[in-house]
Structure 1
Amino acid sequence: MIRRMARSPAGALTWSSSLDGVLGTGTSLTVDSLSAGSHTITLQATDLGGVANQATLLLTVTPTTPNIGLTPVISGLSSPVLLTAPPGDLTRLFIVEQSGAVRIIKNGTLLSTPFLSLSDSISTGSEQGLLGLAFAPDYATSGRFYVSYTNKHGPLAAGTSVIERYTVSNNADLANTASGQRLLTLDDPYDNHNGGMIAFGPDGYLYYGMGDGGGGGDPLNSGQDRSDLFASMLRLDVSGNGAYTIPASNPYATHPTFRHELWNYGLRNPWRWSFDRQTGDLYIGDVGQGAHEEIDIQLASSGGGENYGWHTMEGFSCYGAANCNQTGLTLPKLDYDHSQGCAVTGGYVYRGSATTLRGRYLYADYCGGWVRSFRFAGGAATDQRDEPGLAPGGSITSFGEDAAGEVYIVTQGGSVYRITGN
């Protein structure tokens, strides 16, 4: 029975779903989508005296058959590993080629001259190369952007991992190559597990996903070592004119021995990760060792410091042991074993124009060639499903997101596809 409730002050009406959690507040509510299944919709009203009352409604959502697919955008690229765009730029896509160039697709046409070429500076082979690109939130006025790559030079044989800042030239389609400023270097003991993705969070700080330093099985024991930068997500303030500073809100910003740059740790190789542009939640695709791949999710409300478990654990399983101490670990929201693939490619929470995908997190496997999705609700990965219409038939190195929130799929063979449908 739905009972009539007393008048409530503005903001004291809260809507929630038994499947999807809190939906919003106010006297009326519009939602883009609800998970398929039987919902108990609850409206809670709280009066000025703090007395609460509830009304409930049962609602069944029937799943629709997704009418989605891939539209080819470009082919013939050299090992593309990332697609992005400057904030508010609706005419251009920027594509990172692992071999060292940043290419521009402008109004549907691939420009012949790269926006930036670092082929003479980077190291290549294995998992090395040009790996990341991020535009400053104020790029339209500052012209600042950042790249992540592996460099040939350094005290160790594998070289160094590097973040550099550049500015755009007077030609909007060309970087000012003389403006490069090195912000961070990290000596690499091995030539794999470089991570390398960089992106700005909703807080305006630059995040950098670092692998565990390479080798196999974490030979440096860096996964649980907070005194180095490996196997961690770094959070940096790059708003000044120097290298970077430490945000005061970093979890170890003043710790006497832990690295102040750390935002979270216990990651093996966070190859591709993203922030949900609507909620600010952080989704991390962490590549596993020999048995399990995982997706980790950090809520936007987090203050950082999560320990995602490597190499104590791989996915939901203890690594190399029947039992392990899981105290203090943050377990994945999803994992899958290597009968289904070999290396997870993290994607995006879809916020584009295809309504049947909206609010679903997309991810893939490099070897399996498949794409899957789920909704994150009630602290869990729910409504999991395969997305056969989104499998491009090749090794998926990355997803990408343009300025409008449309999502793309990038393959090792050099092709880029846009997700389309309704």
Structure 2
Amino acid sequence: MRRFILWTTLCFTSLLTACGGESDTQDGTPASTTLKLQTIASNLNSPVFLTAPPGDANRLFVLEQGGAIRVLDRATGNVLSTFLTLTGVTSGGERGLLGLTFDPNYNANGRFYTHYTDANGAITIARFLVSSTDVNIAEPTSQVILVSIPHPTFANHNGGMLAFGSDGCLYAAVGDGGSSGDPNNNAQNPASRLGKLLRIDPTTGIACTNGTLNPFVLSGGDPLIWSYGLRNPWRFSFDGDDLYLGDVGQGAREEINVSSGLNAGRGLNYGWRLMEGSACFNPTADCNNGTLTLPTIEYTHDNGACSVTGGYVYRGQAAPAIQGTYFYADFCAGFVRSFRFNNGSALEQREWPLLAAPSLTSFGQDALGELYILTQGGNVSRIVPN
């Protein structure tokens, strides 16, 4: 279960031991202390995501779970405007306005996309347009709903991430439909869009056909499905063609999955509910016939951990030493960890104590490739050299 709102008490543990491969810098400083957080903004209302339009070095767009998108000045953190306030959003628990991405051609077409739960709890992926007269305001009446996935029984496991791949297709992460143990077995059902990574044509809302077909287009199953076997994918990202995906575990294990190369993730079965991480879940034995994709990284719920938050590969310029490093976190334990992915392995695994944050809801990335951390309490902080 995605727990970043359901937890009402602080479950923060500062874990100071590096997860393998700790080394010192040339001046003897521990590498894990070379980064820190710089507060950009505070007092936002449950911020859950941050992004920016392509090439926009001056603004940050922050999602508040209740339905508002705020425009912040990148340098000062001052709120410049409310870009959009979505109406008809069910917010609270794991529902709300959860995802935002800008069209790769946003500067020409003004299109952006949102992922939210509507008044009936349906997972909704919609397209909007920026105002033709004010770049800091969107046109609320321009909404076109591309995908609506009924989610009537349980309130949790909505997923929430949107991102464009290098193929120009829109990818959307969707949870398994909620409750415990995926009682309807949605994640393994190729006819259900729940528990999946979807690949969508951003113009029509049907299956994207750029470069290749989605795996179930010609073989039965829902044509939008790209990957399956997911429980509650809380944040995925692309680094070039490579796909990094965090999936929240049931009660014992959290995982990060990395798929590399052209068409990364196509047709992969990440295992849920057959497996939680690399362990059998349902059934409790003999669950993998060799077709399941095992995690690149997994960790247990020791020391207060409970819910993984996927992040990004760093591609900014402020901290060149960490170029190519992927960052992820845990909501309850508060830690931030990283690794470099190379030849199918997670190398240089490390923990960053100065980046630890209570109730960390999401990472964000600006147009310059710099990374941010958002917390449920309302803070937005940039990762900077110490």
Q: 1:350, CA displacement in angstroms? A: 1.0
Could you say which residue in structure 2 is the equivalent of 1:358?
A: 323
Q: Deviations over 1:5-60 (max 9, x none)?
A: xxxxxxxxxxxxxxxxxxxxxxxxxxxxxx979xxxxxxxxxxxxxxxxxxxxxxx
Does 2:78 match 1:115?
no
Choose the corresponding residue for 2:270, options 305, 308, 313: 308
Could you say which residue in structure 2 is the equivalent of 1:369?
A: 334
Could you say which residue in structure 1 is the equivalent of 2:192?
A: 228
Q: 1:339, CA displacement in angstroms? A: 1.0
Output the CA distance in 2 between the equivalents of 1:262 and 1:181. Answer: 21
Q: 1:253, CA displacement in angstroms? A: 5.0
Could you say which residue in structure 1 is the equivalent of 2:4?
A: none
Does 2:298 match 1:335?
yes
Choose the corresponding residue for 2:164, options 181, 187, 200: 200
Choose the corresponding residue for 1:403, options 352, 367, 370: 367
Give the letter for the 1:355 counterpart. P
Could you say which residue in structure 1 is the equivalent of 2:14?
A: none
Q: Deviations over 1:322-359 (max 9, x none)?
A: 44234201101010011140000001111122123221
Choose the corresponding residue for 2:230, options 267, 270, 273: 267
Is the contact between residue 252 and residue 259 of structure 1 (CA under 8 Å) also seen in structure 2? no
Is the contact between residue 209 and residue 232 of structure 1 (CA under 8 Å) also seen in structure 2? yes
Choose the corresponding residue for 1:161, options 105, 123, 127: 123
Give the letter for the 2:372 counterpart. Y
- Larger mean CA deviation between 64-73 and 335-344 belongs to 64-73
User: Could you list the runs of 5+ residues in structure 1 that have no partner in the other structure?
Assistant: 1-34, 38-60, 154-158
Output the CA distance in 2 between the equivalents of 1:261 and 1:272. Answer: 19
Could you say which residue in structure 2 is the equivalent of 1:7?
A: none
Instruction: For residue 268 of structure 1, give the secondary structure of its aligned residue in structure 2.
Output: coil
The runs of at least 4 aligned residues of structure 1 exceeding 6 Å deviation read 61-64
Q: 1:178, CA displacement in angstroms? A: 1.2
Q: 1:152, CA displacement in angstroms? A: 1.2
Could you say which residue in structure 1 is the equivalent of 2:51?
A: 84
Give the letter for the 1:111 counterpart. V
Could you say which residue in structure 1 is the equivalent of 2:62?
A: 95
Could you say which residue in structure 1 is the equivalent of 2:350?
A: 385
Give the letter for the 1:145 counterpart. F
Q: Deviations over 1:182-218 (max 9, x none)?
A: 1110100311000011111111110000110111100
Instruction: For residue 121 of structure 1, give the secondary structure of its aligned residue in structure 2.
Output: coil
Q: 1:246, CA displacement in angstroms? A: 3.2
Give the letter for the 1:116 counterpart. L
Paired-residue identity, %: 47
Could you say which residue in structure 2 is the equivalent of 1:9?
A: none
Does 2:181 match 1:213?
no
Give the letter for the 1:289 counterpart. Q
Instruction: For residue 171 of structure 1, give the secondary structure of its aligned residue in structure 2.
Output: coil
Is the contact between residue 241 and residue 263 of structure 2 (CA under 8 Å) also seen in structure 1? no
Could you say which residue in structure 1 is the equivalent of 2:17?
A: none
Could you say which residue in structure 1 is the equivalent of 2:379?
A: 415
Could you say which residue in structure 1 is the equivalent of 2:280?
A: 318
Output the CA distance in 2 between the equivalents of 1:379 and 1:329. Answer: 16
Q: 1:110, CA displacement in angstroms? A: 2.9
Is the contact between residue 21 and residue 349 of structure 2 (CA under 8 Å) also seen in structure 1? no
Q: Count residues with an aligned counterpart.
A: 355
Instruction: For residue 107 of structure 2, give the secondary structure of its aligned residue in structure 1.
Output: helix
Could you say which residue in structure 2 is the equivalent of 1:49?
A: none
Output the CA distance in 2 between the equivalents of 1:253 and 1:290. Answer: 31
Is the contact between residue 199 and residue 207 of structure 2 (CA under 8 Å) also seen in structure 1? no
Could you say which residue in structure 2 is the equivalent of 1:14?
A: none
Is the contact between residue 207 and residue 214 of structure 2 (CA under 8 Å) also seen in structure 1? no
Give the letter for the 1:195 counterpart. G
Does 2:134 match 1:134?
no
Is the contact between residue 246 and residue 253 of structure 1 (CA under 8 Å) also seen in structure 2? no
Is the contact between residue 247 and residue 253 of structure 1 (CA under 8 Å) also seen in structure 2? no
Q: 1:113, CA displacement in angstroms? A: 3.6
Does 2:113 match 1:152?
no
User: Could you list the runs of 5+ residues in structure 2 that have no partner in the other structure?
Assistant: 1-19
- Larger mean CA deviation between 107-116 and 284-293 belongs to 107-116
